[in-house]
Structure 1
Amino acid sequence: MKTKNLNLIIVLGLVATIGILIVQLLWTKQAFTLEEKKFSQKTHFALLEVVKKLYKGTSSTLPSENPIQKIANDYYIVNVDNDFDPKVLEYYLKAEFLKFNINTDFEYAMYNCQSDEMVYGNYISQNEKTSAQKTIYFPKHKNLVYYFAIRFPNETSYLFNSLRFWFILSFALIIILLIYVYSIYTIIQQKKYSELQRDFINNMTHEFKTPLSSILLASHFLHKQDSIQKDEKLEHYTDIIIKQSNKLNSHIEQILNIAKSDNSSMKMNIKGVALLPILEEVAENMKLKHPNLALKINTPKDYSILADEFHFTNIIYNLIDNSIKYCNEDPEICITIEEIPKYLKLQFSDNGIGIPSKNTPFIFDKFYRVPSAMNNEINGFGLGLYYVKKICTLHHWKISVDNNTNKGISIVILIPN
């Protein structure tokens, strides 16, 4: 993905997430305000019912004006204009608050006209385990003779508890925003590392191309000499040098292409390819390089597949070369070809050092090398099996690896029939 597009996606995602969080917080604030109004209305209606109950059975009539005044969010006074029993008041308060689903602690006080002061009534707790709280001062109010006051000491926490879903959702959005920011930071860091790796590979492969061009030039000149052409063995070796130098040059170009972009599709020249000649050619070249190599090909017949010949040959070279490099004795490799339902199975088994089970899921990752004491002795960049996996994926083949029972590993490529 281009840097410009990635930056645009990051900014849009960040703005969208912050916008959603702001909207959520505004909704939560609005919900709290509505819940506060709802609580006030329920309290108002409940107190009106209490006033009606206090007047019931008396000769007095209900006052024409609203007897309830809201002094503060958690403090109300109620003018009953009639004498009443504190125990009866407490009973009605409990009953009406329960009826209107007001499930929070409250305390009340009554005005004593004889002593001209507020007389504390009681603290009513919804939780029996909650001990009585410290008495709060109830102020007097002018022009009222018979009235009582109600205070809700835990109203704020009660409202917050009623909106706990909103707060949990807001908290979850904040966590998501933090995770998003951290993910973006990680992506940016990984992008920097990828760019460094790509620059390193570009520089390294360009440095390889200069001496390789000189080798190819000298090899072609050497091949034209009469003394070389007259000696069949020398001419054969010169051909091998030229041929393998060309292959190495192609490998370098391929690595450059991989380094440029992992998302860019390689062009595949798919055609019918005979398996056995390619395997035999690679085996012969590898035996020239490694005289102690024992390589056996088991196949009931010669099979043909649809593949890019160049890339398929590179796959064979990579797999055999890996088996040779990671072997602490004379390498023995067995290539088996067999037909199974829906697939042609191509299996490479060796007698190498094997791979720990915990590392097998990562061996096809780019730049990954299995931790081993032999790593310091073996040259490589962890690109071989990554390349093999990429080519198999482009061909729609399946590839897997497993440890053998005795020693070494088996790499299996399943090619659809």
Structure 2
Amino acid sequence: MKLKRINVLVVIGLLAIVGVIIMQLFLLNQAYSFEKKDVEDKIHFALQDVVEKIYADNHSTLPITNQIKKVSDNYYIVNVDDVFENNILEHYLKTEFEKVKLEQDFEYAIYNCGTDDMIYGNYIAADGKPEKKCEDCFTKNEELIYYFAIRFPNLKQSYFSSLKQYWAFTVVLFFVLIIYVYSVFLLLKQKRYTELQHDFINNMTHEFKTPLSSILIASNYANTQKEISENKKLSKYIQIIIDQSNKLNQHIEQILSVAKTDSHQIQLKKSPVEVVKTIDLIIENCKLKHNTEFDVHNSIQENVTITADSFHFYNLLFNLFENAIKYGNNNIVIKVSLIENVKYFSLIITDNGPGIPEKDLPFIFDKFYRVSRKDNEEIEGFGIGLAYVKKICELHHWKIKVKNGTIGLETEIKIPKKDLHYV
């Protein structure tokens, strides 16, 4: 179900980005068409004014017929149908193009009816730096007698350069699309690896539990036999097997719990849980499990109950207490308090240990992350206890925060007021 949801989101995201790119290309095409029409109109009006001035100089009547013919995007033929001079034509072309603010290079040629040839005029550069002339680019028109041709060699390039902002946006969108596709590919690949990892952990732990259970049953039975109980050496070895098997079983259970939280297999069974009784039970079990001496100062009233899954709530607090004991210094003191705020209760657990380096604090809830310590090799664990704690808090819709206090570590669990009661 979750994979299908991801696939749907990926497809929707991809369609959204493709849709934006299509819209951008449409806008780019519209902008190109608008820019092209604007330049063409400027050329037409400027050439029309040139013709009118030539007729005005010759004191002739301007014909009604259209005298400007567009041969291609950058090539025009102007039928003057009257005599005109080369120098005057060039002057009028420069003047009229300046009026309409047409900053384009152009070159022109005039048809000589005496020689039946196109006589090249000049190349006029907008920046004053003429480029290579193209005298062979002008062709004759058999139907006209008095006319000139004008060519704009850099017109097409100017269209693209004037739309550079649109091109930049389009390139950025294509770049975003490439990054998105690559990220999705990595996401799906990582998800596949994660699922394989979960399957491997589940299969591995389940495969371990069966022979481990057999070892524990056989070891406990053997430990009750007269031959072994009377032999101190054998009894000691059997007890080592039982103790180590129990430790291994606890590690396997912990890994299974984290695997279940990741695969959303945990179904919380909420009920009223007495907080003080749970803490007292944790203290007893910690004393049985650890030989280290520690004191617990619990200021929570006995009539406080919390709506939670009793099994996972116990495990959550047990992990926090056990960390305080395992990583604490001499004379370990754990303080438990409950503070009421406006919208929630804060369950605060503090210790007098060495705390956690600031550089490690952002990562302590990550799976398999262990804080670098000199005694890491001596302390057992996989670095999944706090990951489990955070996941259980999230499933209960609680918030957890860990910070270094004045002395030791302070863990705060924010519990909504509706989940905590006084009886």
Q: TM-score range by the shorter chain?
A: 0.7 to 0.9
Question: Does the residue aligned with 2:262 lie in a helix, a strand or coil?
Answer: coil
Q: Shift in Å at residue 80 of structure 1?
A: 1.3
**Higher RCO (Cα < 8 Å, 6 or more apart):** 2
Q: Secondary structure at the match of 1:56?
A: helix
Structure 2 gap segments, 5+ residues each: 226-238, 418-423
Distance 1:416 1:10 in 2: 35
Counterpart in 1 of 2:130? 132
Q: What is the aligned-residue RMSD (CA, Å)? A: 3.8
Measure how far apart 1:96 and its partner are.
3.4
1:206 deviates by 1.0
* Partner Cα separation in structure 1 for residue 215 and residue 415 of structure 2: 37
Contact kept, 8 Å, 2:297 with 2:336, in 1: the verdict is yes
Residue 198 of structure 2 corresponds to which residue in structure 1? 198
**Counterparts of 1:229-248 in structure 2 under 5 Å?**
none
Which residue matches 1:104? 104
Task: Report SS of the residue matched to 1:368.
Answer: coil
Partner of residue 307, structure 1: 308
Q: 1:374 to 1:114 in 2, by over 3 A?
A: farther
SS in structure 1 opposite 2:279?
helix
Q: CA deviation at 1:332?
A: 1.5
Opposite residue 133 of structure 1, the aligned amino acid is E
Residue identity matched to 1:314: N
- Per the alignment, do residues 12 and 309 of structure 1 end up closer, same or farther by CA in structure 2, a change over 3 Å counting? closer
The within-5 A match list for 1:382-401 is 382-401=383-402
The 8 Å contact of residues 36 and 159 in structure 2, kept in 1 or not, is answered as yes
What does residue 276 of structure 1 align with? 276
User: Which residue in the other structure is 2:295 paired with?
Assistant: 295
Pair 260,399 (structure 1): closer, same or farther in 2 beyond 3 Å = closer
Q: 1:215 to 1:373 in 2, by over 3 A?
A: same
Shift of 1:202: 0.5
Task: Assess if the C-alpha contact under 8 Å between 1:397 and 1:416 holds in 2.
Answer: yes
Please say which of residues 42-51 and 97-106 is displaced more in the overlay. Answer: 97-106
Q: Is the 8 A contact 1:110 1:121 kept in 2?
A: no
Matches within 5 A, 1:66-105: 66-105=66-105
Q: Which amino acid aligns with 1:387?
A: Y
Asked if 1 retains the 8 angstrom alpha-carbon contact of 2:399 and 2:414, the reply is: yes
In the TM superposition, what is the alpha-carbon distance from 1:403 to its structure 2 partner? 1.7
Deviation at residue 95 of structure 1 after TM alignment: 4.2
Q: Distance in 2 between matches of 1:404 and 1:47?
A: 83
Tell me, yes or no, if structure 1 residue 162 matches structure 2 residue 162: yes
- Return the offset for 1:160: 1.0
- TM-score between both structures, scaled by the size of structure 1: 0.79
Q: Distance in 1 between matches of 2:327 and 2:149?
A: 88
User: 1:339: which partner in 2?
Assistant: 339
CA distance in 2, matches of 1:330, 1:193: 43
Q: Tell whether 2:140 aligns with 1:141.
A: yes
Paired residues, number: 397
Cα deviation code 1:327-373 (max 9, x no counterpart):
4x436241221323234332222344432323212221233333445
User: Is the contact made by 1:283 and 1:295 (CA closer than 8 Å) also made in structure 2?
Assistant: no
1:308-333 CA distance string (max 9 Å, x none): 22111101111122233334x43624
- AA at the equivalent of 2:362: P
- 2:410 is aligned to 410
Provide the identity percentage.
46
User: Structure 1 residues 331, 196: closer, same or farther in 2, change over 3 A?
Assistant: farther
Change (3 A) 1:331 1:53: farther
**1:349 — aligned with what?**
350
What is the CA-CA distance between 1:294 and the residue it aligns to? Answer: 1.6
- The 8 Å contact of residues 112 and 119 in structure 1, kept in 2 or not, is answered as no
The answer to whether the 8 A contact 2:109-2:118 is kept is no
Alignment-mate amino acid for residue 194 of structure 1: T
The aligned counterpart of 2:175 is 175
Q: Write the distance in 2 (CA, Å) between the matches of 1:356 and 1:172.
A: 41
Aligned match of 1:62 = 62
